[in-house]
């Protein structure tokens, strides 16, 4: 039954993907991409990967759609006519597809207990996590502690991406480009949804709950699905909603750009600092067990701290990018 | 008792599924944006309420039911709001209803 439902979702995924490629209206493409992410999240959930599903739903279907719309408000919603040798593209795509499909023949069958992924380190993680870290969500233990380097790398990828987008888009007050925004922005900047009573009232009601849920996901990540990446997306989404309802300026009054930059850098620094602190106290880089006398409690403290760092950076980067788009659209 | 609950949840889920189906068909068949939204909102309201209530009957008095109730409450707040925002945005950007007087502007709005 699950397999059938999974197949159904995968077929829908393919249909959505084809529709994304086919449509010339970029606005529709963004919406279809959001649906694509939501279907993918449902599929992940069917495979019992709740953490990944939450990330895909929050970041793929949620906040990245908002950022795409922000980008569209700068570029317009029509795709430029395609040029070039279409036959060549077709051949390249078919060749690449054939290679990928050929590669899948080597993959172990779905759910095969003898597959390398089931026999390599996974049993060790599942067996030893209660002893070493003692938190129920093994995914958080792997991300935060066992594979701490990888997660640190991810945080710096997010950090670098944020800095890059800000370099491309940032415009000082008054020095913005003369580029004409699309109709969407013009409506947005005149009204900022201010004249719509219903979205404003309901949105105001929802913003605190969205941010509260983000904090829950942040600090409950050791017990259930969640963690810094998802929480950052939720909190950022709450503040973006507030900014859409009340105007960008009010949102910037609450969290000014300087604070945002502090969050972007501070989160990454906090993560690294926890690692360096471990070194100073006689352990390896990102070895949390030396932070306190009790190694298990120290691991938990370390994970909470680095998750906080991840959450700060992700929130800061997403909000900075949103504000950069909004400022550029207004200029 | 269990059987009664099963039958009840079966009825609720089927009725919810029917409303979702009707919403889906209507969203394809209706002539313009506003009538499409009107039909699609059946999915949000009747469909969601019936399906979620059906699952709640299945779940019984557990934490899952509380979570489902919270989801339902959230949907009842956000669904109509999203419809309202969509309709306002469409009206503001000049999408017209499709009737005989506005046939000429059909291309403009699509």
Residue B104: count of CB within 10 angstroms of its CB = 8
* Residue B79: per-residue pLDDT: 87
Q: Does residue A93 sit within a domain?
A: no
- In chain A, the percentage of residues whose pLDDT exceeds 70 is 91
* Residue A291: per-residue pLDDT: 83
Task: For residue B77, give the nearest of A193, A196, A206 by CB distance.
Answer: A206
Q: Does residue A109 sit within a domain?
A: no
Tokens of A32: 């279809």
* Residue A193: per-residue pLDDT: 53
- The residues near B26 (Cβ < 8 Å, ≥ 6 apart) are B36, B39, B40, B42
Nearest CA in chain A to B77: A202
| Number of domains observed in the structure of chain A | 2
- Asked if the C-beta of B70 comes within 8 angstroms of chain A's C-beta atoms, the answer is no
Cα torsion A239, A240, A241, A244: sign: positive
Q: Does residue A112 sit within a domain?
A: no
Tokens of A18: 């084809």
| CB spacing of B78 vs A206 below 8 angstroms | yes
Q: Chain A: give the shortest CA distance to residue B64, in Å.
A: 15
Q: How confident is the model at residue A327 (pLDDT cuts 50, 70, 90)?
A: confident
CA–CA dist A308, A263 (Å, integer): 11
Q: Chain B: give the shortest CA distance to residue A181, in Å.
A: 15
Task: For residue B88, give the nearest of A196, A202, A203 by CB distance.
Answer: A196
Angle A298-A299-A305 from CA coordinates, rounded to 5°? 90
Q: Does residue A90 sit within a domain?
A: no
Q: Does residue A111 sit within a domain?
A: no
Examine the domain organization and report whether A165 and A61 are in the same domain.
Answer: no
CA–CA dist A276, A231 (Å, integer): 25
Examine the domain organization and report whether A140 and A60 are in the same domain.
Answer: no
The number of angstroms, rounded, from the C-alpha of B47 to the middle of its chain's C-alpha atoms is 6
Region of B95 (left: φ > 0; alpha: ψ -120 to 50; beta: rest) is beta
Nearest to A225 by CA among A216, A234, A212, A238: A216
A302 has pLDDT over 50 = yes
Nearest to A319 by CA among A246, A205, A220, A238: A238
* Residue A171: per-residue pLDDT: 59
Examine the domain organization and report whether A65 and A124 are in the same domain.
Answer: no
Q: Does residue A271 sit within a domain?
A: yes
- In chain A, the percentage of residues whose pLDDT exceeds 90 is 38
* Residue A177: per-residue pLDDT: 42
Chain B residues within 8 A of A77 when measuring between CB atoms? none
Mean pLDDT of A36-48: 92
Q: Tell me which residue range forms the domain holding A315.
A: 120-331
Q: How far apart are the first and last CA of chain A?
A: 54
Region of A84 (left: φ > 0; alpha: ψ -120 to 50; beta: rest) is left
* Residue A174: per-residue pLDDT: 44
B74 has pLDDT over 60 = yes
Chain B residues within 8 A of A199 when measuring between CB atoms? 81, 84-85, 88
Q: How confident is the model at residue A179 (pLDDT cuts 50, 70, 90)?
A: very low
Mean pLDDT of B61-84: 90
Chain A residues within 8 A of B77 when measuring between CB atoms? 202, 205-206
| CB spacing of B85 vs A198 below 8 angstroms | yes
Q: Who has greater pLDDT, A330 or A191?
A: A330
| CB spacing of B85 vs A193 below 8 angstroms | yes
- Asked if the C-beta of B69 comes within 8 angstroms of chain A's C-beta atoms, the answer is no
Residue B16 contacts residue B50 (beta carbons within 8 Å): yes
Nearest CA in chain B to A28: B110
* Residue A144: per-residue pLDDT: 85
Q: Chain B: give the shortest CA distance to residue A320, in Å.
A: 25
Q: Residue B33, SS3?
A: helix
Chain A residue set in contact with B, beta carbons under 8 Å: 183, 187, 191, 193, 196, 198-199, 202-203, 205-206
Please name the residue that has the structure tokens 């709740």.
A50
- Asked if the C-beta of B108 comes within 8 angstroms of chain A's C-beta atoms, the answer is no
Q: How confident is the model at residue A110 (pLDDT cuts 50, 70, 90)?
A: confident
Give the CATH number of the domain where residue A54 resides: 1.20.120.1200
Task: For residue B81, give the nearest of A187, A191, A202 by CB distance.
Answer: A202
Chain B residues within 8 A of A196 when measuring between CB atoms? 84-85, 88
Nearest CA in chain A to B78: A202
Chain A residues within 8 A of B93 when measuring between CB atoms? 183, 187
* Residue A194: per-residue pLDDT: 54
Examine the domain organization and report whether A139 and A72 are in the same domain.
Answer: no
Q: What is the DSSP letter of A180?
A: P
B109 has pLDDT over 70 = no
Q: Who has greater pLDDT, A114 or A196?
A: A114
Q: Does residue A134 sit within a domain?
A: yes
CA–CA dist A102, A116 (Å, integer): 19
Chain B residues within 8 A of A187 when measuring between CB atoms? 89, 92-93
Chain A residues within 8 A of B88 when measuring between CB atoms? 196, 199
- In chain B, the percentage of residues whose pLDDT exceeds 90 is 38
Examine the domain organization and report whether A314 and A231 are in the same domain.
Answer: yes
The model's pLDDT over B14-35, given as tens digits with 9 standing for 90+, comes to 999 999 999 999 989 988 888 8
**Cα-only R_g, chain B:** 18
Q: Residue A71, SS3?
A: helix
The model's pLDDT over A230-275, given as tens digits with 9 standing for 90+, comes to 999 999 999 998 988 888 888 888 899 899 999 999 999 999 999 9
CA–CA dist A20, A8 (Å, integer): 18
């Amino acid at each position: 039954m699950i397999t059938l439902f999974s197949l159904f979702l995968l077929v829908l995924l393919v249909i959505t993907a084809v529709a994304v490629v086919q449509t010339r209206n970029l606005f529709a493409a963004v919406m279809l991409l959001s649906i694509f992410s939501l279907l993918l999240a449902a599929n992940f959930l069917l495979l019992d990967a709740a953490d990944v599903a939450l990330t895909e739903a929050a970041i793929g279907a949620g906040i990245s759609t908002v950022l795409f719309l922000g980008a569209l408000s700068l570029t317009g919603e029509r795709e430029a006519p395609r040029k070039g040798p279409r036959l060549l593209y077709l051949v390249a795509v078919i060749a690449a597809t054939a290679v990928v499909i050929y590669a899948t023949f080597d993959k172990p069958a779905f759910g095969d207990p003898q597959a390398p992924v089931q026999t390599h380190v996974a049993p060790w993680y599942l067996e030893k996590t209660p002893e070493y870290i003692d938190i129920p969500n093994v995914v958080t233990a792997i991300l935060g502690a066992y594979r701490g380097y990888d997660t640190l790398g991810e945080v710096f990828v997010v950090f670098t991406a944020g800095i890059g987008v800000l370099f491309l888009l940032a415009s000082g007050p008054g020095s913005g480009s003369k580029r004409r925004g699309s109709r969407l922005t013009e409506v947005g900047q005149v009204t900022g949804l201010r004249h719509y009573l219903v979205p404003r009232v309901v949105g105001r009601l929802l913003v605190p709950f969205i941010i509260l849920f983000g904090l829950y996901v942040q600090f409950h990540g050791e017990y259930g699905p969640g963690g810094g990446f998802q929480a950052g997306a939720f909190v950022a989404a709450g503040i973006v909603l507030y900014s859409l309802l009340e105007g960008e300026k009010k949102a910037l009054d609450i969290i000014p750009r300087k604070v945002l930059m502090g969050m972007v850098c501070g989160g990454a620094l906090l993560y690294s600092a926890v690692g360096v602190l471990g070194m100073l106290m006689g352990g390896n880089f990102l070895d949390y067990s030396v932070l306190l006398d009790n190694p298990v409690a120290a691991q938990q403290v370390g994970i909470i701290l680095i998750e906080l760092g991840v959450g700060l950076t992700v929130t800061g980067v997403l909000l900075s990018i949103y504000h950069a788009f909004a400022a550029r659209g207004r200029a | 008792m269990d059987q009664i609950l099963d039958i009840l949840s079966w009825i609720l889920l089927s009725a919810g599924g029917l409303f979702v189906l009707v919403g889906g068909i209507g969203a394809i068949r209706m002539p313009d944006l506003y009538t499409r939204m009107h039909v699609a909102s059946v999915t949000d309201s009747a469909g969601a309420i019936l399906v979620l209530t059906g699952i709640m009957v299945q779940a019984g008095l557990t934490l899952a039911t509380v979570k489902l109730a919270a989801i339902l409450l959230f949907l009842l707040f956000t669904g109509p709001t999203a419809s309202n925002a969509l309709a306002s945005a469409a009206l503001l950007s000049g999408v017209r209803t499709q009737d005989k007087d506005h046939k000429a502007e059909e291309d403009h709005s699509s």
